[in-house]
Amino acid sequence: MNIFRLAGDLTHLASVLVLLLKIHTIKSCAGISLKTQELYAIVFATRYLDLFTTYISLYNTLMKLIFLGSSFSIVWYIRKHKIVRRSYDKDQDTFRHYFIVLPCFVLALIIHEKFTVREVLWAFSLYLEAVAILPQLVLLQRTRNIDNLTGQYVFLLGAYRALYILNWIYRYFTEPHFVHWITWISGLVQTLLYADFFYYYFQSMKNNGKLQLPA
């Protein structure tokens, strides 16, 4: 495992911890999109089916369990926790799941490595992850005044994707025959979705100001 991959995974882990910190200690999920969190839960549930069939490493297994557990517990907190759920911006978080899930599933039926249940679901999870952030970005755009932890959360998620791209470039040059179009293209699309957010994030850092997206 190279340094970019490790840094990417740790950044992903940090993003989840920041979100759990906000939810668990501040008891607030204001500005967090339940739709995005539910999509991530679907992403991990469909991608990590190989937990039962293939063993890669202890690191791999532990991280998968952490991402599965955290994504489902975040959804639980926002939907069921008696205090947290009150802070959920339900009226603002209006993105429809099936607008995202359905096209991804159809795409996975068309473009996959092998036509088996596991491979189609794996491709589906990659396509879905690529666009799962959209409800969150729409919500940020609508709430405009973004609190620090929410801003950090989205920033860390974007950084994780950027580091994965560096990881693929590194692997391409260091490993023989490392070519993986489905992963690369969906990963690139996913990272590009953060470009606009990154722009305003760095602008706000430069001005020492609060992160505010334009109307």
Partner 1 sequence: NPKTAAKDEL
Contacts to partner 1 by CB under 8 A: 5, 9, 12, 50, 54, 56-57, 60, 63-64, 67, 113, 122, 164, 167, 171, 175-180, 182-183
Question: Closer CB to partner 1, residue 22 or residue 47?
Answer: 47
Q: What's the closest the beta carbon of residue 46 comes to partner 1, in angstroms?
A: 14
Q: What's the closest the beta carbon of residue 173 comes to partner 1, in angstroms?
A: 13
The Cα-based distances of 200 to 35, 50, 163 in angstroms read: 23, 38, 19
**What is the chain's alpha carbon radius of gyration, rounded to the nearest angstrom?**
17
| Beta carbons within 10 angstroms of residue 126's beta carbon | 25
Are the beta carbons of 39 and 135 closer than 8 angstroms? yes
Q: What's the closest the beta carbon of residue 109 comes to partner 1, in angstroms?
A: 19
Q: What's the closest the beta carbon of residue 102 comes to partner 1, in angstroms?
A: 24
Question: Closer CB to partner 1, residue 150 or residue 190?
Answer: 190
Are the beta carbons of 28 and 22 closer than 8 angstroms? yes
Question: Closer CB to partner 1, residue 56 or residue 192?
Answer: 56
Question: Closer CB to partner 1, residue 18 or residue 123?
Answer: 123
Question: Closer CB to partner 1, residue 27 or residue 171?
Answer: 171
- Between CA 140 and CA 150 the distance in angstroms is 9
Are the beta carbons of 190 and 129 closer than 8 angstroms? yes
The Cα-based distances of 59 to 1, 4, 165 in angstroms read: 11, 16, 20
Q: What's the closest the beta carbon of residue 186 comes to partner 1, in angstroms?
A: 11
